[in-house]
């Protein structure tokens, strides 16, 4: 496939007008101002369009689409115990698949090509991801309690089986990570066992870190150290780790994250909705930490349109740190693309570069709200709509184009998700 006369964000996320991009199989094969000699097959007319890397969602709970709008304007504890946990306890394998498929539909429609997920019954998320042909780093949120819809330790069998059956499958699109749900849902033995298991299995780690003030305070009471220090001490950061939220980090924690190459996955919308607080994203950047961007689950967002997260991410730290210069549009866009790919261990993804996987999206920039084009990076972050995505490609395959979903039966996905939600409600 050849994208002809299209504006792009290049590998440095600079704006280059009027390029030609050749796709060969799963890879970006050519980027240039001159038309290539090679015949790439289908020609895409890029006039009025922008080609950029597909977006990477660094923290999701994709089957939670079934809970969208179900629990609102509630305190965190009520939200969890009265609404989320009882609903989740009734979810079957089929519901997990249906909720995932609905979530993947939203993702590809809004330009997400890959997501780092934490949930349970991951086999059925994997099956949905394989069908949707999207990229996923999947993990089971491990807890010690086993009473919150997450799996108990030492149920390592399920992880072993996931790794054996799904890790690096589908041309590497599916990866299995391990996940320690959070400090407050696990004991020290679980944490250190899971850390060892991750090292032995050579897989990545995905955790919730310092999401609430209470979490930090209670951890310090229990262990006399912050959650970051506690995870570090127990070996969690011995493998590359994605830590969601990172709101209540203390000074030393930033150094721990930096020294251990931990990615901070910021989830600004979820943090606002649950009143968790404002993470210090400017400080994360200043410390040189890899900052990525996540939607979190649909129950606390309530959609998977990461363009909204991108805008809010670029905005809220200005007000909360009283400085309109913090978080540049380029920083924000890189966090929503390349930095997310790095956090997933996908170094050949997340940027428009010859040899990289062809995970790309096309935006229609010939829209009133994208006019005038004084600065395309500003327009992408502050003005663009998720609905401006007119084309989503993963590994060189078209998943979405101009209203058509090519890997998902969209009517069926909506119907099945509605049926699952109704059926779960009928059991509550």
Task: Using alpha carbons, select from 322, 295, 257 the residue that is nearest to residue 386.
Answer: 295
- Give least dist CB 178 to a copy of itself, A: 29
Q: Do 125 and 136 form a contact (C-beta atoms < 8 A)?
A: yes
Q: Which residues contact 199 (CB under 8 A, 6 or more apart)?
A: 235, 238, 239
Contact assessment for residue 304 and residue 112, using Cβ atoms and an 8 Å cutoff? yes
The minimum distance between CB 344 and a copy of itself, in angstroms, equals: 23
Judged by beta carbon, residue 41 or residue 415, the one nearer a copy of itself is 415
- Return the number of the residue (205 or 310) whose C-beta is nearest a copy of itself: 310
Q: 153 vs 326, which CB is nearer to a copy of itself?
A: 326
CB atoms within 10 A of CB 312: 16
Tell me which residue of 213, 273, 210, 244 sits closest to 71, measured CA to CA. 273
> Would you call 357 helix, strand, or coil by DSSP?
strand
CB of 244 to a copy of itself, least distance (A): 16
The answer to whether 289 touches 295, Cβ cutoff 8 Å, is no
118 closest CA partner among 201, 191, 182, 54: 182
**Whether residue 154 has a cis bond before it, omega within 30° of 0:** yes
**Bridge partners for 136 per DSSP:** 115, 174
Q: Smallest gap, in angstroms, from Cβ of residue 351 to a copy of itself?
A: 22
Pick between residue 195 and residue 314 the one whose CB is nearest to a copy of itself.
Answer: 314
For strands 2-9 and 43-45, give the pairing. Answer: parallel
**CB-nearer residue toward a copy of itself: 286 or 375:** 375
CB of 174 to a copy of itself, least distance (A): 21
Residue 48: CB atoms within 10 Å: 14
The CB-of-171 to a copy of itself minimum distance in angstroms stands at: 25
Shortest distance (Å) from residue 325 CB to a copy of itself: 5
Output the six-digit token pair for 235. Answer: 């070996």
CB of 368 to a copy of itself, least distance (A): 4
Q: Strand pairing of 135-142 and 174-176?
A: parallel
Which is closer to a copy of itself, CB of 283 or CB of 367? 367
In this structure, the chain runs to a length of: 428
Kindly state the smallest distance separating residue 423's Cβ from a copy of itself, in Å: 11
Instruction: Indicate the residue among 29 and 309 with the shorter CB distance to a copy of itself.
Output: 309
List CB contacts of 137: < 8 A, sequence separation 6 or more. Answer: 114, 115, 116, 117, 175, 176, 177, 204, 206, 242, 344, 345
Whether 338 and 346 have beta carbons less than 8 Å apart is answered as: no
- Of 195, 143, 136, residue with least CA distance to 167: 136
What does the alpha-carbon distance between residue 409 and residue 212 come to, in Å, rounded to a whole number?
A: 39
Q: Are 9 and 334 in contact (CB under 8 A)?
A: no
CB of 318 to a copy of itself, least distance (A): 4
The rounded Cα 164 to chain-centroid distance in angstroms is 23
Separation between Cα atoms, residue 20 and residue 29, nearest integer Å: 11
Structure tokens at 426: 């009928």
Nearer to a copy of itself, 329 or 396 (CB): 329
Q: How far is the CB of 365 from a copy of itself (least distance, A)?
A: 10
Shorter beta-carbon distance to a copy of itself: residue 30 or 104: 104
Residue 255 or residue 369: which is nearer to a copy of itself going by CB? 369
- The Cβ of residue 422 has, within 10 Å, a number of other Cβ atoms equal to 9
Q: Is the dihedral of CA 198, 199, 201, 205 positive or negative?
A: positive
Q: Which is nearer to a copy of itself, 233 or 320 (CB)?
A: 320
């Amino acid at each position: 496939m050849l994208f002809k006369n299209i504006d792009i964000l290049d590998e440095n996320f600079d704006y280059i007008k009027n390029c030609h991009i050749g796709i060969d199989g799963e890879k970006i094969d050519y980027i240039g101002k001159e038309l290539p000699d090679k015949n790439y097959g289908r020609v895409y007319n890029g006039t009025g369009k922008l080609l950029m890397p597909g977006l990477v969602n660094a923290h999701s709970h994709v089957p939670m689409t079934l809970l969208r709008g179900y629990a609102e304007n509630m305190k965190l504890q009520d939200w969890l115990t009265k609404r989320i946990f009882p609903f989740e306890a009734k979810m079957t394998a089929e519901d997990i698949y249906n909720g995932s498929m609905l979530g993947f539909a939203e993702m590809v429609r809004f330009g997400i090509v890959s997501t780092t997920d934490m949930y349970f019954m991951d086999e059925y998320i994997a099956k949905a991801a394989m069908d949707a042909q999207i990229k996923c780093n999947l993990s089971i949120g491990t807890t010690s309690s086993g009473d919150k819809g997450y799996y108990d330790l030492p149920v390592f069998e399920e992880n072993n089986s996931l790794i054996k059956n799904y890790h690096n499958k589908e041309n590497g699109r599916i990866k299995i990570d391990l996940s320690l749900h959070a400090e407050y849902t696990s004991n020290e033995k679980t944490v250190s066992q899971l850390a060892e298991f991750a090292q032995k299995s050579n897989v990545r780690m995905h955790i919730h870190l310092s999401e609430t003030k209470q979490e930090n305070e209670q951890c310090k009471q229990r262990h006399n150290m912050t959650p970051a220090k506690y995870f570090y001490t127990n070996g969690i950061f011995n493998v590359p780790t994605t830590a969601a939220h990172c709101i209540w980090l203390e000074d030393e924690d930033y150094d721990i994250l930096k020294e251990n190459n931990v990615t901070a996955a910021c989830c600004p919308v979820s943090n606002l909705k649950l009143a968790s607080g404002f993470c210090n994203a400017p400080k994360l950047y200043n410390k040189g930490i890899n900052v990525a961007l996540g939607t979190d689950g649909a129950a606390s967002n309530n959609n998977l349109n990461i363009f909204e997260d991108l805008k809010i991410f670029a905005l809220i730290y200005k007000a909360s740190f009283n400085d309109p210069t913090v978080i540049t549009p380029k920083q924000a866009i890189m966090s929503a693309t390349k930095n997310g790919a790095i956090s997933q261990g996908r170094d050949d993804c997340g940027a428009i570069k010859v040899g990289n996987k062809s995970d790309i999206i096309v935006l229609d920039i010939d829209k009133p709200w994208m006019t005038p084009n004084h600065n395309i990076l500003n327009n992408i972050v502050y003005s663009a709509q998720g609905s401006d995505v007119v084309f989503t490609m993963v590994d060189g395959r078209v998943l979405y184009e101009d209203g058509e979903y090519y890997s998902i039966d969209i009517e069926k996905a909506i119907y099945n998700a509605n049926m699952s939600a109704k059926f779960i409600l009928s059991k509550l």
